[in-house]
Amino acid sequence: MATVRLKDIRKRFGATEVIKGIDLEIEDGEFVVFVGPSGCGKSTLLRMIAGLETISDGTLEIGGRVVNEVQPKERGIAMVFQSYAIFPHMTVRENIGFGLTVAKAPKAEREAAVQEAARILQMEHLLDRRPSQLSGGQRQRVAIGRAITRKPEVFLFDEPLSNLDAALRMDMRMEIGRLHKELKTTMIYVTHDQVEAMTLADKIVVLKDGEVQQVGAPMDLYHNPANLFVAKFLGAPS
């Protein structure tokens, strides 16, 4: 587990500043949701934390260490994307274990980690299947399973449910909530869906045009929104 600290984080693409000085403290084991409309900078912010995007200005700390210049695989994070990023020619077992295969972990260690991830995600009976024999929700579980085997200190999710239909989205939302309860790992979760934000978050960060509008517990934001934007965003029926 790890704290994540952002100090005046900025991102420019050419002359355009899309992340405009974000200060944020994420506690050990906290489930934090970045929420805001499309284009407000959620993915860019997450990608900077992951190390997939350079930071133009500011300081990023993970677990008390400044990681601005640290390679993604050295940051103790694992990221789950919206598109499943799983390999069609590999079995579920091979897909879940892929990160450890790349890391050249011993076979026994890999198999134990795959079994543990499969147990957590209730996928033990699916390990020999290929992605074409899985539902959309099961495929997304495989992607989450791969993240689990890496034993990250921080999980990053970028709209992991947006490709799923409404019923499945609800199932997977509960699944991710359970995952957090079981692992107690710090999780940073990006969504534009206020229901996901309200149900999953310990703390919500509302973003607009690359700036933080408000940070707080779901019910604090709901009852005491800092401005009309926050009120509309969290209060509007989905």
**Given the rule CB under 5 A, which residues bind Mg ion?**
43
In the block, tokens 């309860």 appear at: 181
d(CA 30, CA 108): 31
- 212 in Cβ contact with 180 (< 8 Å): no
Which residue is at the shortest CB distance from Mg ion?
43
Spell out a b/e string for 87-106, using b for 16 or more CB atoms within 10 Å of the CB, else e.
Answer: eeebbbbbbbbbbbeeeebe
Question: Which residues, 6+ apart, have CB-to-CB distance to 214 below 8 Å?
Answer: 204, 205, 206, 221, 225, 226, 227, 230
d(CA 32, CA 59): 19
Q: Is 185 left (phi over 0), alpha (psi -120 to 50) or beta?
A: beta
Query: Contact region for ligand ADP (CB under 6 A) — 32-40, 126-134, 163-171, 173-181?
Result: 32-40
Q: Take residue 131 and report the two structure tokens written for it.
A: 């992605």
3-state class of 62 per DSSP?
strand
| CA 163 remoteness from chain centre | 15
Q: Tell me whether residue 84 or residue 98 sits nearer to ligand ADP (CB atom).
A: 84
Q: Tell me whether residue 153 or residue 159 sits nearer to ligand ADP (CB atom).
A: 159
Q: Take residue 180 and report the two structure tokens written for it.
A: 């957090």
160 binds ligand ADP (CB under 6 A): no
- Smallest distance from ligand ADP to CB 39, Å: 4
39 binds ligand ADP (CB under 6 A): yes
145 binds ligand ADP (CB under 6 A): no
d(CA 55, CA 76): 18
Q: Tell me whether residue 43 or residue 140 sits nearer to Mg ion (CB atom).
A: 43
Q: Tell me whether residue 45 or residue 142 sits nearer to ligand ADP (CB atom).
A: 45
44 binds ligand ADP (CB under 6 A): yes
What does 75 interact with, of ligand ADP, Mg ion, none (CB < 5 to 8 A by kind)? none
38 binds ligand ADP (CB under 6 A): yes
13 binds ligand ADP (CB under 6 A): yes
What does 93 interact with, of Mg ion, ligand ADP, none (CB < 5 to 8 A by kind)? none
- Smallest distance from Mg ion to CB 37, Å: 10
41 binds ligand ADP (CB under 6 A): yes
d(CA 187, CA 169): 18
Q: Tell me whether residue 43 or residue 214 sits nearer to ligand ADP (CB atom).
A: 43
Query: Contact region for ligand ADP (CB under 6 A) — 41-49, 124-132, 166-174, 211-219?
Result: 41-49
- Smallest distance from Mg ion to CB 110, Å: 31
Burial class (CB in 10 A: 0-12, 13-18, 19+), 208: middle
List residues binding ligand ADP (CB under 6 A): 13, 18, 36, 38-44
